Amino acid sequence: MARDLMSGDEWAFFEGFILAVRSPNGRKPLSQRLVLDGIFWIARTGSPWRDLPEEFGRWSSVYRQFRRWTLAGLWEQILEALNESRIVPDALQMIDSTVVRAPHQAAGAKGGLRAKVPAAREVGSRPRSICASNAAGLPMRTEITTGQTSDYLGFDLVMADNLPEPSVLLAERGYDSDHIRKTMEVREVLPVIPVRKTRKLRVTIDPRRAVLQQAEERPSRRHPAHDKTAESFLSFIDITSIRF
């Protein structure tokens, strides 16, 4: 028996979202709860789909349902509801980006991860994921950009004003731009961002904010290494934020 299965209360929460995205003419899985637990198992362990324990059903069936729910936007809807609920404190938020190291399987897949960002392939660079997370380090929104997209240009993708407004935003030096600081000022958010050495117009930073700067860490982006599409890659980031 697999460990860390959903409780009754957890399933009651997720079931409403699943019923909302289910196609009325679609084939109903034998056990939607078991399928969802199987998807959570894959997300938690990072194992290949073929290694899914038999107690969750046929791995291919669980995978197909995962793809249906992904394309229906299930994970984004759940994450959005959790963001709006403010169960996790969001007064302090962080933003960061990292290179997406897609395996060779992803490069060859139809609609593969790199195919989703063809500009990155044209310039011979890897795609990047940019992520806004809450104080617990859980991503609230993640997007994929081309490898040549600078940090501050990707800022608007994940810090849209339809997310819960933070009081303080932590970021690395790559996000030090007049645009970001002005945007945060208009939204009454305190930006805690180290100043670029090349900045001509210096910005005074309270030394006491150094404690917050030291707390800024890269958000966790755990996902199975065999993800072949951008949708699956982003979905597993959402899933690990939803439950882990």
Segment 53-76, tens digit of pLDDT: 999 999 999 999 999 999 999 998
Q: Which of 20-24, 74-78, 164-168, 198-202 has the lowest mean pLDDT?
A: 198-202
Q: Report the CATH number of the 89-228 domain.
A: 3.30.420
- Please list, in sequence order, all residues whose beta carbon lies within 8 angstroms of the beta carbon of residue 11, skipping any fewer than 6 positions away: 33, 36
Residue count of the chain, please give it: 244
Q: What is the pLDDT of residues 162-192, one digit of tens each?
A: 677 888 888 888 888 888 888 888 989 888 8
Taking 80 as the threshold, does the pLDDT of residue 87 lie above it? no
Provide mean pLDDT across the span 204-221.
47
Whole-structure pTM value:
0.66
- Token output for 64: 């197909």
Task: Output the pLDDT for position 117.
Answer: 43
Task: Output the pLDDT for position 115.
Answer: 44
The domain segmentation of the chain, as residue ranges, is: 8-72, 89-228
Taking 60 as the threshold, does the pLDDT of residue 235 lie above it? yes
Taking 80 as the threshold, does the pLDDT of residue 151 lie above it? no
Q: Which residue has the higher pLDDT, 124 or 26?
A: 26
Using CB atoms within 10 A of its CB, is residue 12 exposed (0-12), middle (13-18) or buried (19+)?
A: exposed
- Token output for 111: 């609609």
